Structure formats: C-alpha cells, structure tokens
Amino acid sequence: MSVRLNNKNILVSAAGQGIGRASAIACAREGARVFAVDINEATLATLVEECPEIQVHKLDVCDRGQINALAEKLPQLDGLFNCAGFVHHGSVLDISEEDWTFSFDLNVTSMYRMIQAFLPGMRERAKVQGTASILNMSSMASSLKGFPVRTLYGTTKAAVLGLTKGVAADFVQEGIRCNALCPGTVDTPSLRGRIASAPDPVEAEKNFIARQPMGRLATVDDMTPMVVYLLSDESRFVSGQALLVDGGVTI
Ligand code: NAD
C-alpha cells in the first residue's frame, strides 16, 4: 500500500462530487485520515459507501458558524484543500450584483473563512511535523488567461491566487505552505450540467474539447496526482505557486 500521506489529517471541501471527491479518495488511498465536507449530504453518503474510511461532515463553506464549529471538533490538520467553487456564465454585462456577491462568497470568501478557522491548528501541527499544506482551487481561467463568458469566474479565481500568495508569504517561515491548483476543463458533474443547459449541448461539448489542445477534456484522475503531491511532503519546497494542470491550454 502506498503511504505518501501517511499520518496526515486532510480536509477536502466540495468532496461530494467532481475533483473534490476524487481528491478525497486519492488522499485516503495514500494513507491520509480524510475529512470530506460538502453541502450535499446525499453525495457524501455515496462517498462513504465507496470509501468507508473517509469521515464525512455536512458543511456549508459560506457559513462561518458551521466552519468554526467543525474546526473545534476535528483534530489539527496537516492538509486543507479548499475546492468548493461555482462557474458563472456570461460577460461583464450579464453579471448582477447578486451573481457577483454569490460567486465571491463561494469561490473566495469561503477560503478565507476556512483558512482562518483551520490555520491555527495547522500552525501547531507544523511545529511538530515541520510542515502543513493549504491548497486552494483556482483555474486556468484566472489571472493566467481570459476566456469568453467567464469574467466573474475568472475574477474570483484570480482573487484566489492573491489569497494564496498572501497566506504563503505570511507563514512560510513556520512551515505552512499554500498553493493553488489551476485546472483546464475537467469532466465533472457540474461541467456536464453546463453542457446540458447550453442551447446546443452537442456543440457546447465540442467547443469545450476544442479549447483543450490535447483534444480531450481532463478527467478528475488527471488532477488528483497534483493534489496528492501538493498535500504531501514531496512538495515541501513549493509554496505560493499557481500550478497549472491544463493539458497545454496556456502553452
Ligand atoms: P462540481 O462543481 O461538480 O461540484 C462542486 C461540489 O461543491 C458539489 O459537491 C457541491 O455540493 C459542493 N458545494 C457547492 N456549494 C457548496 C457550499 N456552499 N459548501 C460546501 N460545498 C458546496 O465540482 P468540480 O467541477 O470538480 O469543481 C470543483 C472546483 O474546481 C471548483 O472550485 C471549480 O471552480 C474548480 N474547477 C473546475 C473545473 C472544471 O472544468 N470542472 C476547472 C477548473 C477549476
């Protein structure tokens, strides 16, 4: 059995489906004690069926009270993967104030809340273990590249990079590392939802594939090796970075 995350306590948000779920399972298979959180209890229940060693908790990452209560309950973390996020569709002219507030709350502010709640325990843990790792979900659609109808999404994911670098800079001397994952287009339930809700779903899928120069969408399994690496001690000299796993889109 592989044990790259042996003896590590790792929390993954948005773990009910998609990249978060695959990451929670990959971390458990590498020996971590995984705490998987999501707002959706039904998908968390299927996660436990698939991987019984994972401990699941219903959590709304937009609710500071729930987050703080969970932080009190859980052991100190070695790894925190802030994965939750939402993709707004539209140009700047389509974004309502409500859209703006919602996307920033879920995609950015939630990470600030989670880090504030769990970092004190991670600092203690790093004193003993030498290191602890925060991973924030960004995207190739951020400050790294612009995409049509992704202005609000890209703005929030660029903010995630600023948050990541700030946290990395403040705690680097304590062994706390903070990095961001920037995926290309990944085949997940929410991507399938975006394709299905397009006026022409067949054309929409073709267009998503066309923007990936390798000629295919990423799978969640294309993402998990980088997640495991960034949460493991193998990346102990890596901090403050935006790591692209985009199949060459930004070549
Ligand atoms: P997804 O969108 O399919 O699933 C998101 C999960 O987040 C769901 O399980 C949902 O219940 C959960 N969630 C939603 N609101 C929540 C809340 N308030 N509190 C807790 N959980 C909540 O997953 P995905 O497509 O794998 O995306 C995950 C992350 O990866 C997002 O941040 C997304 O922006 C980012 N990302 C995705 C892609 C892609 O192409 N799929 C590309 C780049 C980045």
Q: Which residue has the tokens 């990959």?
A: 26
CA distances from 84 to 12, 109, 197 (A): 9, 11, 21
pTM assigned to the model:
0.98
Atom of ligand 1 nearest to the CA of 186: 40
Ligand 1 touching residue 185 (CB < 6 A): yes
* Site to substitute for ligand 1 among 12, 13, 17, most atoms within 8 A of C-beta: 17
Residues of the chain with pLDDT under 50: none
Determine the residue type at 232.
S
Please tell me the predicted confidence (pLDDT) of residue 56.
Answer: 98
**pLDDT, tens digit, 9 for 90 and up, residues 27-40:** 999 999 999 999 99
Please tell me the predicted confidence (pLDDT) of residue 1.
Answer: 60
- The alpha-carbon radius of gyration of the chain (Å, integer) is 17
Domains of the chain as residue ranges with CATH: 9-183+222-244 (3.40.50.720), 185-217 (no CATH)
Please tell me the predicted confidence (pLDDT) of residue 227.
Answer: 98
Ligand 1 touching residue 247 (CB < 6 A): no
